Amino acid sequence: MDTATARLLAHYRAWQNIRMFASVAALPPGEAAKQRQTLFSSIIGTLNHNYVVDRIWQAHLSGEDHGFKARNVILHPELHALWSAQQTMDCWWQDWSESQTAASLVETVNFRFVGGKPGAMTRGAILLHVVNHVTYHQGWIAEMFHQVPAKAPATDLPVYLQELAHAGASGAPEWDTGRVPLE
């Protein structure tokens, strides 16, 4: 992975989260926390899972112990608090990607999975994993939107690239501030 792709992916995942959190905030009251037939029990549960996994990989990249014994922890049961934490995390990934070099992206990081088994991945592969992970579970959330029923946001990479190209012609994109109207 090259440095431009790393920056693109970090910004893309932040854009995905802006769109998803704004759409979740717009759902009727109670729908985000409503118990559903899904592994993480709710939209809030799935968003928390994404955040916890971000923190785990952040710790691996920083050479720190993440301290998690499970990936299904609810750190922030309220959407506004979770969104605040996720914004901080998204900024961390963007700053991290900006600081990478071609050499650092191919460095191998040794770590332990939550279950204790050892693992090793390059820094670039870790970034690719966290982006794919968010995309995967946002698909789960999109399915839960259909249960509401509500229209899920489009968070696909081609949509992001189209908006990015349009913004390049007209100035900063509307979503660039990272602010989502949460109550």
Residue 104 has pLDDT above 60, yes or no: yes
The reply to whether 183 falls in a domain is no
Q: How far apart are CA 32 and CA 49, in angstroms?
A: 14
Which amino acid appears at position 142 of this protein?
A: A
CATH number at residue 150: 1.20.120.450
- pTM, whole model, 2 decimals? 0.91
Question: Exposed, middle or buried, 20 (CB in 10 Å: 0-12/13-18/19+)?
Answer: buried
Q: Does residue 179 have a pLDDT over 60?
A: no
Is 125 within a domain? yes
* Domain hosting residue 88, numbered range: 3-177
Per the structure, the count of domains in the chain is 1
In a domain, 182, yes or no: no
Query: Among 28-37, 143-152, 165-174, which stretch is predicted with the lowest mean pLDDT?
Result: 165-174
Q: What is the pLDDT of residues 121-158, one digit of tens each?
A: 999 999 999 999 999 999 999 999 999 999 999 999 99
> Is the confidence at residue 69, as pLDDT, over 80?
yes
| 85 found inside a domain | yes
pLDDT-based confidence at 113, cuts 50/70/90?
very high
Environment class of 19 (CB within 10 Å of its CB; exposed 0-12, middle 13-18, buried 19+): buried
